[in-house]
Amino acid sequence: MATTHKTRMLIIGSGPAGLSAAIYGARAGMEPIVVQGLQPGGQLTITTDVENYPGFREVIQGPWLMQEMEAQAVHVGTRMMYDIITSVDLDGPVFTATGDSGDIYEGDTLVIATGAQAQWLGVPGEQELSGKGVSACATCDGFFYRGKKVVVIGGGNTAVEEALYLTNHSDEVTLIHRRDSLRAEKILQDRLFANPKIKVVWDKRVERFMEGENGELRALALIDTKTGEQSEILTDGAFVAIGHAPATDLFKGKLAMDGTGYLLVEPGTPKTAIPGVFACGDVMDHVYRQAITAAGTGCMAALDAERYLAARDFAEAVKVEA
């Protein structure tokens, strides 16, 4: 039988953004509900070594970090719901979400932290070697390949930015693109072509990620998109940089988005165009996409939600007195 769950702060998504919002919301007495979604814990649950999250001297594991965040959120008063939201009603003043279970979730405020997913090539070896030489985030994992050969796959802004970033760690960076020209902005292309550490391989499509004897990535099998010629390129690390897809299908036609589907917020805040509805983490951030920045915007969303409720409650109290 379906149940209705009510809260002062409803959070959709359970990555660093959603759980940080929950921690701050719970400590403010809002008794938040987190609906965890398809991937409880977010992208960090499929990330192995994490070396750039503040507070940990040694390398930590992504799944462990998210388990600790969830435990902290529960400890301070968050209710965790294992459900998948299938529809939302943002008309207010109470925001409603319906779960795949049939349960209804009602929140006086709504925090959207549904995140984004890296787009993958979908070729053999890609997922098998994820974390073993294959990555979708140079900023996250580039440090592990200092002094080694790396490749970046893609031709847009993301790929060029990843390649340029990797030159901080490697003197041998190869950009592989399936066409004979890049889609990236000209200023980024100029920087790429001027960098002596970067080589561009044109008209090549990755057919397979090849495993070495040590169980790590050894090489990429390529095919020429014009001639069909097959080749291999040896590498220690491969970064797939063909874009990210924000999880915003639920909000199409309900909230403003940019051309790539990321939710639009008031600059410098997590506030959407609907008062009481906030967006945080990768669902509204296509620039930084880091666990620490997601957590920071989650904190901001909770603080703004608290202020929104305080102002609303005060206005209602004044109205009653009048």
Active-site annotation, residues: 137, 140-141
Phi, psi of 226 (to 5 degrees): -105, -40
Of all helices (H) and strands (E), which one includes residue 118?
A: strand 116-118
Q: Give the up-direction half-sphere exposure of residue 83: CA atoms within 13 A in the CB hemisphere.
A: 25
| β-strand partners of 80 | 34
Task: Scan for tokens 């992504």, then name that residue.
Answer: 62
Cβ(246)–Cβ(239) under 8 Å?
Answer: no
Q: For residues 173 and 80, what is the distance between their CA atoms, to the nearest angstrom?
A: 43
Cβ(73)–Cβ(19) under 8 Å?
Answer: yes
SS3 123: coil
Paired sense of beta strands 95-99 and 85-89, if any: antiparallel
Q: Which of 312, 305, 270 lies closest to 27 in space, CA to CA?
A: 305
